[in-house]
Amino acid sequence: MRLSTLATACLLGLSINASAADVKSISRLAFGPDGVLFVADWKAAEVHAIKLAPPARQPAGAVFNVLDLEQLLSDQVGGARVAAEDMAARPGTGEVYVAVSYGADKTPALFAVTSDKKARRVDLKAAQGTSVALRDAPTGNEKFWKDMPERSFTVTDMKWRDGELFVAGLSNQDFASTLRRIHYPFDARQSITSIEIFHGGHNLIETRAPIRAMSFAKLGGKPYLVAAYTCTPLVIIPLDELKDGAHIRGKTVGELGYGNTPADMVAYSQTEQGQTREYLMLVNYNRVSNVIPVSELDAARMGPGIEKQVPFGQIAGLNMAQAPLAGVMRLDNLDDKSFVMVRRDLQHDALQLVSMGKDLSFRLSDHISEYAFRNFSFKGNAFQQKYIKPRQDILLKDEGFPDLIKASD
């Protein structure tokens, strides 16, 4: 007799719920196929797959300049202060979904935000979909620094790839750092791999601290997980090693700086002089962002990796660029040309949802430079007219200042 998916799941100790999602918290979001939004719920130790309504029509090439996101969302929850938890751009729609918590009990809320600075709250109590319980989730009441529940790190990052949801975080096992692979539509298949790494800055093999940000890259013709940990080792792991019950060591290929927690990582491509190159953008809570060429990761794959202590404060292992994206909390691909990010603008102490071009990776209106003065002119400077002015004009238009575009002469 052939068992149903739900019956098989029950026999294996899994729980799959096919009714309205009962969302108790939100730590991470990820988009799957056909308008499905995955919501990581650490309080329930579940992942919910919510089927979203068809998207509103948005103009092609929409740009985001929501400069007071906190006020926009607070107004919809009775004026309570909101804390941004995660953000994900809905592919091909121009909609961006922002998860927050608010109030003394940190009630979760989810909003669809559009480039016209409007926000629509998603009714989580009425949201239809399926949910799956996470195997071996943390169950204790321990807290980090007497404040943050260890259970809130059940899911620290979550990414969709080729029919599977990859879920990084903690388990209740001795080797707590865990990577889960969950098939969707949810069924009885859920693999758990425990992961250890060598942290050169700490001179220590680490088994507890979880992945904080991750993405994927093809290296040597094979798919790899690329993972960033706190303080800040960068690690690569072949996907075919991530098997249920396995305990593996990731290969540390970079040390990106001490005293830092990675915030998010996305893969993207850029066409330069007719050649398409692949990159990862890693944004950090305590440092500027890292622009990591996939070619550098591929070269590091063939090397010995980092297995010895890295001197305190030294950046090692990879040649990469930096992007001036301080204060960025979450980053996603808005479309082929632009990122979208939730950030805390440090100059104005404002929570914002803004976009930026992938080729420039900064916003002109963040700066008061020579170009900002009204009497500045490009006249007589051929280099400025050829290289600087066209880029500045794009930024001025995208950031809502087309009237400030200066004449060439």
Alpha-carbon distance of 390 to 396, in angstroms, equals 10
Alpha-carbon distance of 286 to 269, in angstroms, equals 25
167 forms beta bridges with 158, 180
Token pair listed for 400: 């809502």
Low-confidence ranges of the chain (pLDDT < 50): 1-13
What does pTM read for this prediction? 0.93
pLDDT digits over 102-131, tens only?
999 999 999 999 999 999 999 999 988 999
The pLDDT score that the predictor gives to residue 13 is 45
pLDDT digits over 188-200, tens only?
889 999 999 999 9
Alpha-carbon distance of 36 to 48, in angstroms, equals 10
Q: Do 206 and 177 form a contact (C-beta atoms < 8 A)?
A: yes
The pLDDT score that the predictor gives to residue 3 is 43
The pLDDT score that the predictor gives to residue 407 is 84
